[in-house]
Structures are given as structure tokens and as C-alpha cells.
Amino acid sequence: MQTPAIGGEQPKYYQLMLDKDLFGAWILTREWGQPGTRTSLKREQYLDFEAAEAALDRARELQKKKGFQVMFSQGSMEPPRR
């Protein structure tokens, strides 16, 4: 996700990733910042896919309300194989 560039300022980005760890739990990773500057990173662990997906959806909707637009760099909208 990213905000549009305004007045010569670089766009801000907010990246959401959902991955399965070695023990079968799901990790929601959030990364945000501006290109070329310091970034922030937060990881949250969920025991089942449904809870992780719900957290990802909530995070995405919150950022959309703040003006971020959804952009895909990789991945798809299809749920992962379990």
C-alpha cells in the first residue's frame, strides 16, 4: 500500500505480509516508512489462518482510511494452501 506523492515528497508505504512459520503458526508482518528513510517493522503471531487473515484485513482497512492505496508487488488474493 502507498500514499500518493504530494508536493515533491516521496510517497509513504505500508506493507503487509502473511507467512507460515516452521511450527505451523501464522506471522503477520507490517512494515512502513518512506523509501530511503528509516523504516518500522512489527510482527504478530497467530495460531490459525482465520485469525491471521482477519488481522491482515483489519490492518489493511485501517490504512485505507488513512489514505493508503492498495498496490500489489507480488502475491495474490487467493488463500494459501494449508
Strand order in the sheet with 13-20: 13-20, 26-33, 40-46
The type of residue at 73 is S
The pLDDT tens digits of the residues spanning 10-48 come to 889 999 999 999 999 999 999 999 888 889 999 999 999
How far is Cα 43 from Cα 4, in angstroms, rounded to an integer? 26
pTM score above 0.95:
no
48, 42 Cβ separation under 8 angstroms = no
pLDDT at 82 over 80: no
Cross-strand bridge partners of residue 41: 31
pLDDT at 80 over 70: no
